[in-house]
Structure 1
Amino acid sequence: MKINWGTGIVLAFIAFISFIMYFVIQMAMDDRANHDLVTEDYYKQELEYQKEIDAERSASKMKANLKVTKSAQGLTLVFPKDFDVNQITGTVSLYRPSNKHLDFNLPISLSNTHLLIPDNRLVDGRWDITVQWKYKDKTFLHKEKLTY
């Protein structure tokens, strides 16, 4: 039996498409791969994004920038010194992109301008830290990616 050019090209396309479909189906059915969204309420967070942009702008306008430093005791957040620490409220969210079970939130309660997140809560690797805080009815936001 003789195969001409047209038949050979059609057979090559069918073989290639079958090969690709096999791997697509194999990866979709594999239990080792995690196909979840990055966060559970991704679409809700997307709608809130403009508020985050406004909070970041107000932080830069009022010079309310935070400093995040690593130390032997853990992660230290330094709030602006000219703000009254008794009027600062909010939350600190630590997000681990590789494992959602390590994510946690902490309320902000300050006695001085420093907030310490203990070293025993932080596993080595990449963390995304988000600090949402209020001072005198102004909302501020600080986001940072760090490797611990």
Structure 2
Amino acid sequence: MNWGHKIIIVFVIFAAGILTLVTKSMRTRVDMVTPDYYGEELKYQQVIDGKENAGKLSAPVAVSQEDTAVLISVPVELRNKQITGKVTFYRPSDSGKDIFMPLQPDQSGRQLVSRQLFIRGQYKVKIAWTMNDQPYYQEQLVNIN
């Protein structure tokens, strides 16, 4: 085989490799943080204000694991107050496994979330609420075992 054939074989192998990479990259699923990412970005000032307000509380909202549930505990100054909000358990590896629920602590400031809703792994817990027309926002990483 002469050198001309060898060059053609190298180019064919190179082209096949590039086509394989393009095909694999086109089939890879890319999840954005939210479907309306750019619309959410415009509202980010509310998140900044919420973080600042949450930083002024006596303690952050605590998220911990118990045997059968994930416990969300609000600080003392939020107990028995009229708060409206939502809790998002964001799963970075698969947006289809995100969990959304309203923030509804009981009289003692606790809210239990069944561990059966979760799969093992890391979640970013995003808690957003309003009290007295003031926004509050907090994020925390939690590993579900």
Per the alignment, residue 133 of structure 1 pairs with 129
Per the alignment, residue 102 of structure 1 pairs with 97
Partner residue of 1:93 out of 82, 88, 95? 88
Query: Where do residues 33-72 of structure 1 align in structure 2 (5 Å cutoff)?
Result: 33-63=28-58, 65-72=60-67
What CA deviation, in whole Å up to 9, does each residue of 1:12-43 have, x standing for no partner?
A: xx78974663244222343xx21343321111
Secondary structure, counterpart of 1:37 in structure 2: coil
Which of structure 1's runs of 4+ aligned residues deviate more than 4 A? 14-17
TM-score, normalised relative to structure 2:
0.79
Task: Determine if the alignment matches structure 1 residue 22 to structure 2 residue 13.
Answer: no
Question: Does the aligned pair in 1 maintain the 2:31–2:94 contact within 8 Å?
Answer: no
- CA shift in 2, pair 1:23/1:114, >3 Å: same
Q: Which has the higher contact order (CA 8 A, sep 6+)?
A: 2
1:50 CA displacement: 2.1
Q: What one-letter code is carried by the residue in structure 2 that aligns with 1:135?
A: M
What CA deviation, in whole Å up to 9, does each residue of 1:32-65 have, x standing for no partner?
A: x213433211111222222111110111124352
Partner residue of 2:78 out of 79, 83, 101? 83
Gaps in structure 1 of 5+ consecutive residues: 4-10
Gaps in structure 2 of 5+ consecutive residues: none
TM-score, normalised relative to structure 1:
0.77
How far, CA to CA, are the matches of 1:112 and 1:51 in structure 2?
A: 28
How far, CA to CA, are the matches of 1:20 and 1:45 in structure 2?
A: 39
Per the alignment, residue 139 of structure 2 pairs with 143
Q: What one-letter code is carried by the residue in structure 2 that aligns with 1:51?
A: Q
Partner residue of 2:120 out of 114, 118, 124? 124
- CA shift in 2, pair 1:138/1:64, >3 Å: farther
How far, CA to CA, are the matches of 1:78 and 1:90 in structure 2?
A: 14
